[in-house]
Amino acid sequence: MKTHLLAPLCFSLLLSTTAHATVDILITEVIPAVSTDSTAGDTVELYNNGDENVDLTDWILSDLDPASAETSLLNEATFAPGSLSLPVLAPGEFAVVVFADTNGTASYADANYGLYIVAPLATVGASFLDRSFEQVLLANAAGTPQDFVAWHVTDSSPSASTLTDMTEDLSSVTPPTSDYSFTIGNAAWTGADAITTELDYAAATVDFTGLDGVSTYGNGVLRRISSNGVFSVGTPDGPAQWEAVPRHQGTLGNASDYVTTVDGIQPLLATGSLTAYLDDLDSTNAPQRRIARDEDQSPADFAVPLPADLTDWEGVLALALAEDWEGCFDAADALGYEVVEFLDTVSGKNFHILQEQTVPGEAGFTGQGTYVFGNDTGTRGYLVLEIPHPRWDTNTDSQGALAIPQVLPRVTLFAGANRNNHLTPSTCDGTHSNGSDYRISDVAHHPGSFFHTTHKYLDGTLATPLFIQFHGFCCPGSGTYATVTDDVILSNGYNASPGVNDLTEIWEARIEAQNFLADGSDLSTAAVYPADTTFLGATTNLQGRVTNGVTIGLECDTPATGATGRFIHIEQDPDVREEPQHIITALIEALDILEAVPVELDQYMVD
């Protein structure tokens, strides 16, 4: 059941008796000029400002594109066809409508804020909303206008080219007449936000200058101003009711279930497959790329944080664990980070993602990693997954992305750069298998990173935390590992065999039980360090040392003297990493077994 902190809003004290006083659905946010693909596109947010449930079936969003053959608003394609069988939009709920390439199939998902609706563009690669001179009109199923917003870039004006931005996509309606008044079905527009003269239109448009560049998710956002939980409404709306803000200040769905104010910013919002979103962290062409792929870079993508940055990052983590996402966004913004609230439509779970605002190659990127927080029902509140070597340990980032919605950890850490991205050697002990030094961009072997800071913070903050790190090696039977015969090696970061109730032993048994054919012929087998093999024991891993009791600040060159059983390191050959589901299934089974024994783990599950 959805819960909302908003009571139905009443504008009777704020407005005189006008047509706007009876408007139930408001346009509250618009993101134009998005690089459209199957999941991303121009976006319009609607808000039920009334006290009645509203059925949006056959409602229309139009950019008033001047296709000459169209003379009626009712010719506009609806974003909510009857075939969708949409639930009603309740008072205080939002509907986020994304106009994307979906081959003509509309879809929706229930969200914590209301509804997430994907409206298909009829032409692949088309767009909905122009960036330099454009407008959006909302009409109900009867074709009656309900709300309207228009914007412009300085010195832009309507013309034949700027008024034909939506050719061959949804279809559209009659444009403004020569004096900029609007007609709907050859009748003058009256009612909500009625525009009757050129002066009315000019006064109502919002200046979008400087935010109009096309990007994957849009460079700028038009946001209806609100104060103390009340949205501003005009007759018609204009700059007094709307503001243009940078994309990272977008508030789609107002993800925390309350209205933002001009003094605060809420998490960005995304809906879809969390696995697909995270799987693109290292993809060059993906919009959410946040991992620097290349090694031996000069200048490096990985930027060494200042001590003050690491301290400030701990403050960001404290706010994230406290679920104070507005405060977290504000604090993260100062470090070049943003918060994304993500509704995973596969698992039905909500997550929050701390990610850099920029991508590799852009000014400000630091390669400090991406952090996913889960706290929905069923979350294993003690569990932390870590992916320290994306790109180098191929497919471990994809494995982590696949695991999160299934395993439901409290936090997952993705390092932000290839482990050898920076040329500077680490001063910590240990070397690669080829004898070369670790680099300072290797978060498992150098302490100066957000990744290691996050591990230390969680180790000292979560009750009885359990850390699992995904790694990869190549290859059993070759090179350094000529005597290795197993596809998977599990260890706890200490040079002594773990006990039978240790997760390494339990997990090994469950991997063996999967009977998985990793490459079509060889059974995927697992070994435990050092009982079954003397390789890849993770004894120089800094996160393992901290969790195994080494004093913080000494972990760079001080081995652990014991194992707590709360740090598990898994090495996997390439075949296993290409098809990791059996490892994830085995992990879930092992955790279920482990939780049945020590009460201190089970009690931190989220109800």
Per domain, the residue ranges of the chain are 19-248, 270-602
Q: Which of 174-188, 295-309, 397-411, 593-607 has the lowest mean pLDDT?
A: 174-188
SS3 content of the chain, % helix, strand, coil (to 5): 20, 25, 55
Q: Is the pTM of this model over 0.75?
A: no
CB 354, CB 337: distance < 8 Å: yes
pLDDT band at 322 (very low <50, low <70, confident <90, very high): very high
Q: What is the mean pLDDT of the chain?
A: 82
Q: What is 401-423 written as a DSSP string?
A: HHHHHHH-EEEEEE-SB-TT-BS
pLDDT, mean of residues 64-80: 57
CA distance 398 to 284: 15
What values do phi and psi take at 97, rounded to 5? -110, 120
* Geometric angle at alpha carbon 20, from 19 and 22, rounded to 5°: 80
CA distance 42 to 250: 13
Region of 342 on the Ramachandran plot (φ > 0 left; ψ -120 to 50 alpha; else beta): beta
CA distance 595 to 585: 15
pLDDT per residue over 86-141, tens digit each?
999 999 889 989 888 876 778 898 876 788 898 888 666 677 888 877 888 898 98
Q: Going by DSSP bridges, is the β-strand pair 488-491/380-387 parallel, antiparallel, or unpaired?
A: unpaired
Buried b (16+ CB within 10 A) or exposed e, 503-536: bbbbbbbbbbebebebeeeeebbbbbbbebbebb
pLDDT per residue over 375-430, tens digit each?
999 999 999 999 999 989 999 999 999 999 999 999 999 999 999 999 999 999 99
Structure tokens at 587: 């992990």
CA distance 90 to 111: 12
Between the CA of residue 27 and those of 358, 506, 545, what are the distances in Å? Answer: 28, 54, 53
Handedness of CA 445, 471, 590, 537 (dihedral sign): negative
CA distance 431 to 450: 22
Between the CA of residue 534 and those of 531, 565, 573, what are the distances in Å? Answer: 8, 19, 16
Structure tokens at 28: 């509250």
Higher pLDDT, 482 or 54: 54
3-class secondary structure per residue, 121-184: CCCCCCCCCCCCEEEEEEECCCCCEEEEEEEECCCCCCCCCCCCCCCCCCCCCCCCCCCCCCEE
Residue 58 pLDDT > 80: yes
Residue 71 pLDDT > 60: no
pLDDT, mean of residues 480-489: 90
CA distance 40 to 280: 14
Residue type, 208: F
Residue 68 pLDDT > 60: no
What CATH number does the domain located at 19-248 have? 2.60.40.1260
pLDDT attached to residue 360: 85
Residue 387 C-beta-side C-alpha neighbours within 13 Å: 33
pLDDT per residue over 427-478, tens digit each?
999 998 888 999 999 999 999 999 999 999 999 999 999 999 999 998 888 8
Percent of the chain with pLDDT strictly greater than 70: 79
